[in-house]
Structure 1
């Protein structure tokens, strides 16, 4: 008899698929037992980084590498003038493992090296699969592994366990383009210049992009070559540790983008054709290549691949004190067709046999491992198919993620702004699109991310204001399009965070309406860094409207951080006025009121509310936020009833056009 799972209790539509869901749970349990082989936990299993690669021993050094198809492996480096020699030849051990021991004097900190890997039909130079430091020559652009054993070990100063915040508020950032100069920014510069801005802004979690080493800077870090190596473009491993340590000292968690969904095709830098076999880490035949991403697809059915990827998770969490991960490309990992050309309009599409069952098993094990290492860790899935149970516990029949990115939210805003006239915006549809989610899972909402800021797309502020942004962002400038655009920019961000199902995300610079798109150095722009930076000075210039937008975002984030816990409340609709485009809903003790009418302000507008008094906590129309100060921020509002002992009261408000108001509800001890 199959036990009933909580996931199915939460969603009766899944009853027809109960055996499939339960079977996936059993498959993960079976695979875990198979790979543990007597070990007590996944955490004990996931130590590949402590065995493979270059390890320091009591008497010297030892290299180990898994290369079952290799016939010989030689160490190349400055120690032997980059030539194959029997003195530095690996010895083949069991199960495809190769090993080379060296005396202490053979290597020193900073030495460069590569492997010369031979197989029956050829040979090639490679970097170790578990390499922890890879650097690129500025002239030849060739990557080499680097011995990284600094004489002084990094000492952590701050507790890695950050107390849980009321709500998860994520600041998505890219270290390289965080500089205002036209260059690649560094971890140290980010720590010095950007961390204080994030702390001041009120965000409690940083999501760092492009941390794992990647050959092409313009890939945004999503074509990874060296999974255990900190991207050397931005600094040293100690620099990254110092950044994370400093963030922890500020009470800010740090999660990183983890790319286990695919791998770059590069052979000399990456895992492609590592030992002369195209299928060592990856699938055979048609499944090897990801046709949409021009990359390679991991074979999650191989225990060696599981060992590699699970060890990678433990490495970043234990060695760098990362608080969790945003898993990239989860949809691609769930389906044999990677979720391409499929609209997912039927539950059958989640259970029709076209799923990558090995990928599903891996994700269950990955999430379980994270909680063993750090019960407070955060796992976020970038997933767009709506897979049921994605962010439900494994024990309940889910995959175990803590959060799902609400990827439909930014898509909704783009479609609405592009295709629907402002006077035709439906507030009911808006509320449904923003607040609708699966009951068993937490989601992270965002109005826009880095995707909307890339060349070829537009940020929300550019869609609203367009070319007027270049000429009319001075506070003394008068431009109706800019006024409306700035008003809507604030309202869109406020309603997105207020209706979130568990967390909120912002990409750096979007909070103040950054005017430039993102375009990494490439041949098409003559390798320019002009658009691969952030203009922080715009938000600091008191004469520009960017400063006003920045102030609003700061006030909004601090209000949510202090007054609202996403996971213990949900949006409760109290007014949906389609004619006047007025929307109001509660979230905990906060009442959010939106007037999306571009031309009409409403005096004496009566809202059905809970009994009590109301304090105006935030107004998008405040002068400091670039508004017109049409609402008295000091007034206390009192509900009233139309009949004695009525449970439903009303609140009489003045609601300006294109304005949002947030009231804190203070319950009364008696009905008025």
Structure 2
């Protein structure tokens, strides 16, 4: 595994180079003292942990100390951290559910320990797939925070089961190299089946991974893996942090999925929720030791008012051990390559971002509203994740735009590699909901797609799971609505609504892909314009799975027009693989003409042109380019291959530069650009 350190090597705190950050963004200079203070807090905590016995190496492997630890002689040592408890017992099938026969012994610092002797024949008393339960203070039934496998028992709450198979899965394939251009397929295993039920790890491995690979994506982001008792929470109300969700299968089956992804060359990201936790007590972390604190802040600071969930106390040593070990667990036990951190905005600010407009004024990022303890945790998490594996990628879901969140910790940054460009999908949905496309402002679109911090990676996306949820609509649904049920057959009469929808769907995705960031993300099914929203079974819909699935037959049916969007998505990704615009410097926009509704820009030596005009096509339209040569069409959204009119087809005609500077570019070409069309030109 690249970048892995040995247990003998101490993790040295990175040497700061704050000046590098200040030179890149001079507006940060007035806040230098605060930036250095935050780094000092990080450094002090890092050095403190490193000074303890075992240092950060042992500290980030808490799963080797807490929970059940299996000894060579068949005995088991079980430890928990429950500072507010006055007693803990373990019951289960191994002791006939005797609630008193196996009491834990109190240790110092709020820790508890139980030693379970081996059976007379030397075998382990805690056998694979046996149920166990902690009893705190004689009457509180709890699941261990370190449980690696939980599942519902008799349709009731999730309970802990021992997961220790005789033949644990052995990975066959190494992790894949870190992609230079990151093209992410955001996935949910449970909804990945066309049937009205929960899909499985095995089905996703066999049926969906090949689709992702074929579409030209090089990374998958797995959502809702950390166990969550409430399926409709989409995985964002985590109850058991170390347990991969049993509703899709076993831990071994998840490992097989990841191993197969690596075999296909797919980088695997885990959607991590360390911003909050479910309020469940019987099968969650809440009130684990009988108090309102333990892993969380007490009082109002410990509860998220909108999410109705608990907020971690990042100043508590054992909470840091728990969360940092959780990251390492998924890196090493399951071989995840990297992480997408959910709810980072909520972590960064005492206000949790509620009601915050985040105008971009720097005072917003360096005042008393910033939660230093959470920020330092994120710095620790990123630095340790990258030291464990130098190939690791971390992504922040942050809407606030905090400066340097995607710069290295040693610059005074937070250490993320990318942040999600959350303003981009908001813009598209707002335009589709509120304005006719003939009124779209080209300058506004370009500004939103290019408004990001210099040298801080952004994941651009036109829509993710957020836009697919019930209460909103996918882009395809906003564009075509009811016509998707009546006019998506290639044999049906033409529909102006569908023709417009197909054209704009392709244009929106391509301009987002090429102009919006340094990585790209698509949510499962949106590559072919999945026709319906996403809604999990719940009381409000009679527990229906009808909208919690993906209708793959729509894209597989060659008589339906979904295939056009899917093919465009595939070709768009394959061209990025060829030319590498995501890993190149940001684009130079040479044209954003409001009257013509034309946008043109160059990136990675490739020319992109977009004509958003609903009915005006242009002949001999002059567009500037910086490099001379012969430009040929390599992709056109109007191709019949994508359900267009075929007014321009790839490889049709030569466009030689003419030695005429144009729009601040060294040279120019003249092209035909039809209405509602996106074209990519490239030199041989």
Partner residue in 1 for 2:126: 107
Hey, what's the Cα distance between the residues in 2 that align with 1:622 and 1:359? 50
Partner residue in 2 for 1:143: 158
1:160-559 to structure 2, matched below 5 A, reads 160=175, 162-345=176-359, 346-477=361-492, 478-559=494-575
Q: Deviations over 1:108-136 (max 9, x none)?
A: 11100110111xxx730000111101011
Hey, what's the Cα distance between the residues in 2 that align with 1:150 and 1:57? 16
User: How many angstroms does 1:431 deviate by?
Assistant: 1.2
Partner residue in 1 for 2:639: 622
Partner residue in 1 for 2:666: 648
Q: Pick one of 573, 577, 586 that aligns with 2:602.
A: 586
Q: Is the 8 A contact 1:210 1:231 kept in 2?
A: yes
Q: Please report the TM-score for the alignment, with normalisation by the length of structure 1.
A: 0.96
Q: Pick one of 48, 55, 63 that aligns with 2:69.
A: 55
Hey, what's the Cα distance between the residues in 2 that align with 1:105 and 1:306? 31
- SS of residue paired to 2:79: strand
User: How many angstroms does 1:436 deviate by?
Assistant: 1.7
Segment of structure 1 superposing worse, 95-104 or 128-137: 95-104
The answer to whether residue 139 in structure 2 is matched with residue 123 in structure 1 is yes
User: How many angstroms does 1:643 deviate by?
Assistant: 6.0
Q: Deviations over 1:555-600 (max 9, x none)?
A: 1111112211423321111222221111110111211110000101
Q: Structure 1 residues 643 and 660 mapped into 2: Cα distance closer, same or farther (>3 Å)?
A: closer
User: How many angstroms does 1:4 deviate by?
Assistant: 4.7
Q: Deviations over 1:278-311 (max 9, x none)?
A: 1101111110110010000000011111011000
Segment of structure 1 superposing worse, 483-492 or 609-618: 609-618
Hey, what's the Cα distance between the residues in 1 that align with 2:306 and 2:184? 28
Q: Structure 1 residues 181 and 590 mapped into 2: Cα distance closer, same or farther (>3 Å)?
A: same
Q: Is the 8 A contact 2:184 2:220 kept in 1?
A: yes
User: How many angstroms does 1:105 deviate by?
Assistant: 4.0
User: How many angstroms does 1:18 deviate by?
Assistant: 0.7
Hey, what's the Cα distance between the residues in 2 that align with 1:517 and 1:54? 42
- SS of residue paired to 2:622: strand
Hey, what's the Cα distance between the residues in 2 that align with 1:158 and 1:533? 30
- SS of residue paired to 2:620: strand
User: How many angstroms does 1:647 deviate by?
Assistant: 7.5
Hey, what's the Cα distance between the residues in 2 that align with 1:75 and 1:640? 78
Q: Is the 8 A contact 1:170 1:204 kept in 2?
A: yes
Q: Is the 8 A contact 1:615 1:663 kept in 2?
A: yes
Partner residue in 1 for 2:676: 658
Q: Is the 8 A contact 1:8 1:14 kept in 2?
A: yes
Hey, what's the Cα distance between the residues in 2 that align with 1:434 and 1:316? 33
Hey, what's the Cα distance between the residues in 2 that align with 1:165 and 1:259? 23
Q: Structure 1 residues 644 and 51 mapped into 2: Cα distance closer, same or farther (>3 Å)?
A: closer
User: How many angstroms does 1:7 deviate by?
Assistant: 1.9
Q: Deviations over 1:388-425 (max 9, x none)?
A: 11101111111000000000000011111222221121
Hey, what's the Cα distance between the residues in 2 that align with 1:637 and 1:141? 68
Q: Deviations over 1:650-669 (max 9, x none)?
A: 21211111000001134xxx
Q: Deviations over 1:616-647 (max 9, x none)?
A: 11110111111111114233423333669998
Partner residue in 2 for 1:158: 173
Hey, what's the Cα distance between the residues in 2 that align with 1:405 and 1:42? 29
- SS of residue paired to 1:568: coil
Partner residue in 1 for 2:9: none
Partner residue in 1 for 2:32: 18
Partner residue in 2 for 1:669: none
Hey, what's the Cα distance between the residues in 2 that align with 1:497 and 1:241? 31
Hey, what's the Cα distance between the residues in 2 that align with 1:569 and 1:37? 42
Hey, what's the Cα distance between the residues in 1 that align with 2:555 and 2:17? 56
- SS of residue paired to 2:380: helix
User: How many angstroms does 1:510 deviate by?
Assistant: 0.5
Q: Is the 8 A contact 1:214 1:221 kept in 2?
A: yes
- SS of residue paired to 2:141: strand
Q: Is the 8 A contact 2:639 2:647 kept in 1?
A: yes
The answer to whether residue 113 in structure 2 is matched with residue 68 in structure 1 is no
Unaligned stretches of 5+ residues in structure 1: 667-672
Hey, what's the Cα distance between the residues in 2 that align with 1:14 and 1:593? 36
Hey, what's the Cα distance between the residues in 1 that align with 2:661 and 2:343? 57
Aligned residues: CA RMSD? 1.7
Q: Which aligned segments of 4 or more residues in structure 1 are displaced greater than 4 angstroms? A: 38-41, 642-647
Partner residue in 2 for 1:42: 56
Unaligned stretches of 5+ residues in structure 2: 1-15
Hey, what's the Cα distance between the residues in 2 that align with 1:429 and 1:665? 29
Segment of structure 1 superposing worse, 62-71 or 192-201: 62-71
Q: Deviations over 1:414-457 (max 9, x none)?
A: 11122222112122221111012101300000000111111110
User: How many angstroms does 1:43 deviate by?
Assistant: 3.7
The answer to whether residue 584 in structure 2 is matched with residue 568 in structure 1 is yes
Hey, what's the Cα distance between the residues in 2 that align with 1:182 and 1:10? 52
Q: Is the 8 A contact 1:611 1:647 kept in 2?
A: no
- SS of residue paired to 1:272: coil
